[in-house]
């Protein structure tokens, strides 16, 4: 344990990094149709005639990258929420923050809002604002109970928020036309079925800002595990750290949901497995969760595309089938 942190960090990042890279490289090759990498990259064949290249670059690669992006964002946002609320069961999904983001994104899609600001599209911005609103409610709750949220309050608040936002989502859906409805329904389950790079590019600014904030937050989150007051007397500006954490976790959730919908349970499964391997230090848990989250969701999506081939399931179905029982197990195990 006394091994210097720098070395453990290198080991952690390279280990989980390899896993993520392996998942991202393998995933586009797997699917209901077999493709040949050689043909896909063969420049002699024009792209319009090259089915392998089309499947690779249009169907599978953006989807794989979307999985990596969404997985790493939701997993690290989970870590931040858990550290912030001092409760290992807090995640964007269980807190209802994902649902808030989904509502925002849905409003933008249904009513075809089309503004863009600094490269951030309306859907991404609305998704961020939705998650920020949900997080604001959680923050107010946590402040009112200034000893951190107990598991009971946390779960009840999450259930309530999810029900509330779901009702609003159903209401908005009423305004969507028939074709949109099917697409929205799939997306609401958590679906990576995108066929362009545009949503990824649009979410990128949020990803960058939130990851930079997370890097700064790693050590403050360690101190916050001691309790607000102990953290403060150790020299941490607690209010600033908490606000940074809330806003950056909202950014991450907003970006992830705008791309893949409210994919559930990544934020709980990934950080817990990571802590079993690297321990509780957030300086290791955060980068490891971001990388493992990417690998995990890409892996789940491969399953989603292949288990019932040629039918492709929304990836949220797979993560829920894995994450649901995992969550219950954690709840039972918790003293």
Partner 1 sequence: MAHWRGYELLQAVDVVAGYPGRPSVLHGVSIEVPTGGFVGILGPNGSGKTTLLRALAGVIRPARGHIRLDGHDLTPLSRQALARRMAVVAQETHLAFDYSVLEVVMMGRYPHLATFEIEGPEDFSIAREAMRATGTLQLQERQFDTLSGGEKQRVIVAAALAQISGAADDGILLLDEPTVALDLAYQLELGELLRERQRRVPLTIAVSTHDLNFAANLCRTLVLLKDGHVLAAGSTDDVLTSEHIRELYDVEADVTRHSPTGRVIVIPVRRSPARSQS
- Residue numbers at the binding site for partner 1 (CB under 8 A): 1-2, 4-6, 82-83, 86-88, 148, 215-216, 219, 222-227, 229-230, 232-237, 275, 279-281, 283
Query: For residues 100 and 220, which CB has a smaller minimum distance to partner 1 in the complex?
Result: 220
Query: For residues 66 and 218, which CB has a smaller minimum distance to partner 1 in the complex?
Result: 218
Helix, strand, coil tally for the chain in percent (to 5): 75, 0, 25
Query: For residues 235 and 310, which CB has a smaller minimum distance to partner 1 in the complex?
Result: 235
CA-closest candidate to residue 71, choices 257, 322, 246 = 257
CA-closest candidate to residue 247, choices 117, 164, 134 = 134
Closest approach of Cβ 153 to partner 1, in Å?
15
Query: For residues 78 and 100, which CB has a smaller minimum distance to partner 1 in the complex?
Result: 78
Closest approach of Cβ 83 to partner 1, in Å?
7
Closest approach of Cβ 226 to partner 1, in Å?
6
Cross-strand bridge partners of residue 120: 117
Q: How far apart are CA 264 and CA 215, in angstroms?
A: 24
Report the length, in residues, of the chain: 335
Closest approach of Cβ 53 to partner 1, in Å?
42
Q: How far apart are CA 315 and CA 289, in angstroms?
A: 19
Q: How far apart are CA 233 and CA 74, in angstroms?
A: 31
Closest approach of Cβ 87 to partner 1, in Å?
7
Query: For residues 183 and 234, which CB has a smaller minimum distance to partner 1 in the complex?
Result: 234
Q: How far apart are CA 191 and CA 119, in angstroms?
A: 23
Query: For residues 249 and 304, which CB has a smaller minimum distance to partner 1 in the complex?
Result: 249
Query: For residues 224 and 295, which CB has a smaller minimum distance to partner 1 in the complex?
Result: 224
Distances (CA, A) of 198 to 87, 110, 117, 173, 265: 36, 18, 15, 24, 26
What DSSP letter does each residue of 95-123 carry, written as one string?
TTHHHHHHHHHHHHHHTT---EETTEEHH
Cβ atoms of 273 and 108 within 8 Å: the answer is no
Closest approach of Cβ 229 to partner 1, in Å?
6
Three-point CA angle 100, 205, 209, nearest 5°: 80
Closest approach of Cβ 187 to partner 1, in Å?
34
């Amino acid at each position: 344990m006394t091994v210097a942190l720098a070395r453990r960090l290198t080991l952690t990042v390279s280990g989980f990094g390899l896993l993520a890279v392996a998942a991202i490289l393998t995933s586009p090759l797997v699917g209901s149709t077999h493709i040949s990498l050689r043909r896909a990259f063969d420049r002699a064949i024009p792209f319009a005639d090259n089915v392998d290249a089309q499947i690779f670059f249009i169907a599978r690669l953006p989807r794989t990258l979307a999985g990596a992006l969404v997985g790493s964002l939701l997993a690290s946002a989970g870590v931040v929420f858990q550290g912030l609320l001092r409760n290992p069961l807090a995640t964007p999904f269980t807190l209802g923050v994902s649902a808030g983001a989904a509502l925002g994104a849905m409003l933008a899609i249904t009513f075809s809002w089309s503004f863009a600001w600094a490269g951030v599209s309306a859907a991404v911005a609305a998704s961020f604002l939705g998650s920020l609103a949900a997080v604001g409610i959680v923050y107010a709750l946590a402040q009112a109970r200034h000893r951190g949220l107990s598991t009971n309050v946390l779960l009840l608040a999450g259930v309530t928020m999810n029900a509330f936002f779901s009702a609003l989502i159903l209401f908005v859906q009423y305004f969507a036309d028939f074709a949109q409805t099917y697409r929205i329904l799939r997306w609401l389950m958590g679906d990576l079925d995108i066929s362009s790079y545009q949503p990824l590019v649009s979410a990128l600014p949020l990803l960058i800002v939130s990851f930079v904030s997370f890097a700064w937050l790693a050590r403050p989150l360690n101190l916050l595990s001691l309790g607000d007051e102990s953290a403060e007397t150790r020299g941490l500006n607690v209010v600033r750290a908490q606000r940074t954490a809330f806003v950056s976790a909202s950014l991450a959730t907003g970006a992830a949901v705008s791309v893949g919908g409210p994919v559930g349970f990544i934020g709980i499964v990934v950080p817990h497995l990571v802590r079993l391997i690297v321990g509780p230090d957030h300086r290791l848990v955060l980068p490891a969760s971001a990388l493992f989250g990417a690998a995990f969701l890409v892996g789940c999506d491969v399953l989603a595309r292949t288990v019932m081939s040629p039918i492709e399931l929304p990836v949220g179905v797979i993560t829920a089938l894995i994450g649901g029982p995992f969550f219950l197990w954690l709840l039972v195990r918790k003293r």
